[in-house]
Amino acid sequence: MTHTLYSPFDMHIHFRQNEMLRAIAPLSGYSFSGGVIMPNCIPPIDSAELLADYTEQVNNALGALDFTPFMTLFFRNYSEKELAEIKDSIIGIKLYPAGATTNSDQGVKEISKAEHTLAMMEEMGIRLLVHGETHGFVMDREKEFLSIYDYLAKKFPRLHIVMEHITTKDAVEFLDKYDNVTATVTLQHLLITLDDVIGGLMNPHLFCKPIAKRYEDRDSLLDAALNAHPKLCFGSDSAPHPIDKKESCGCAAGVFTAPIALQVLTQLFEKHNSLPNLQKFVSDNAVNIYNLTPSPKKVELCKKPFLVPEKYHTVVPMYAGQTLEWSIESVQ
């Protein structure tokens, strides 16, 4: 049995920097046509100069692979001149609440103080990508942030707002509330709940932010993905950390899924008799929402066992050492 995907996109991915970037980027570049590259580096990518330098590093790491990196800027209060200079070089600007996740300490502390920049983004047609969590009780952070999405969607009705890596039933329902709101969802949040992370011995390689939630949340996300909700895209949020940063006190947040995402998604969609919708979820929806022009990449998957390596470079992937039902046969 085989299945073909055309021009799959990963609309939320972390490539990191330096040695990690050079080791990790080609794993996405091999099987995906493009991806949205996150800017929470050290220092954050928040200027035209840093953007140009990071873009060059990413392209060098990808080499000859047919992969388009869609770059983002780290949100801060930009001037109109700065935004005009960079708007054609990015797919959007990523807003992190200060301290919400990895390398986000320089993020936004008060939404009200960001409104001048948001208004200019709306006028210029620059997308707003958001890590939507408050600093409340960890299970409620995303739900609490929905009131901020509600406020922003009303105040800036022409601003395209992307709810990144949604994890709750409430967020899925919110998708249909405003025309200017779309979302991404990760692989792990379609599969796991908090019980998988800490229900027994803690599995540090499944710990991410936002954390996995309840069964009803997982099931709602999965239903939306399997039915290819037109406002929902696949965004892995694949976030590599070295083993010593994951298997340690203060476990780093992030699940590494880039090299196994398409195999697992194919397995998941086949299990639920939804393989015809996988193309929409991993490609067509992104093309429509972000107005992309995909390169003609064809990924052939076949139903034969694939043993997931124990690690890639210094990073342990999801399903490490386990055998998947589907493999990537070829990429053309």
Quick check: helix, strand or coil at residue 182? strand
Give the model confidence (pLDDT) of 267-315 as tens digits: 999 999 999 999 999 999 999 999 999 888 999 999 999 999 999 999 9
Residue 100's pLDDT is 78
pTM of the model: 0.97
Distances (CA, A) of 115 to 37, 234, 264, 319: 24, 28, 40, 42
DSSP string computed for 47-77: SHHHHHHHHHHHHHHHTT---EEEEEEE---
Range of 244's domain? 2-331
237 is catalytic: yes
| H or E element that contains 233 | strand 232-234
Structurally, how many domains does the chain consist of?
1
What distance lies between CA 159 and its chain's CA centroid? 20
- C-alpha 322/C-alpha 285 separation (Å) is 30
Write out pLDDT tens, residues 26-44.
999 999 999 999 999 999 9
Which of 18-41 are b and which e, b meaning 16 or more Cβ less than 10 Å from the residue's Cβ? eebbbbbbbbbbbbbbbbbbbbbb
- How confident is the model at residue 73, as a pLDDT? 98
CATH number of the structural domain spanning residue 186: 3.20.20.140
Structural element, H or E, at residue 28: helix 18-31
| pLDDT tens per residue, range 92-118 | 999 998 887 878 788 888 898 999 999
Single out the catalytic residue among 223, 237, 244, 284: 237
| Calpha distance 100→123 (Å, rounded) | 28
| CB neighbour burial string for 171-196, b if at least 16 within 10 angstroms, e if fewer | bbebbeebebbbbbbbbbbbbbbbee
Q: For residue 133, with 0-12 CB atoms within 10 Å meaning exposed, 13-18 middle and 19 or more buried, which class applies?
A: buried
- For residue 180, what are the CA distances in angstroms to 90, 103, 185, 250, 291? 19, 28, 17, 37, 14
8 A C-beta contact, residue 297 and residue 331: yes
Distance between CA atoms of 59 and 44, rounded to whole angstroms?
18
CA–CA dist 142, 170 (Å, integer): 9
Per-residue model confidence (pLDDT) at position 99: 81
Give the tens place of pLDDT for each residue, 138-172. 999 999 999 999 999 999 999 999 999 999 999 99
**Vertex 251, ends 72 and 69: CA angle to 5°?**
20
* Arithmetic mean of pLDDT, 3-25: 98
Share of the chain above pLDDT 90, in %: 94
Length of the chain: 332
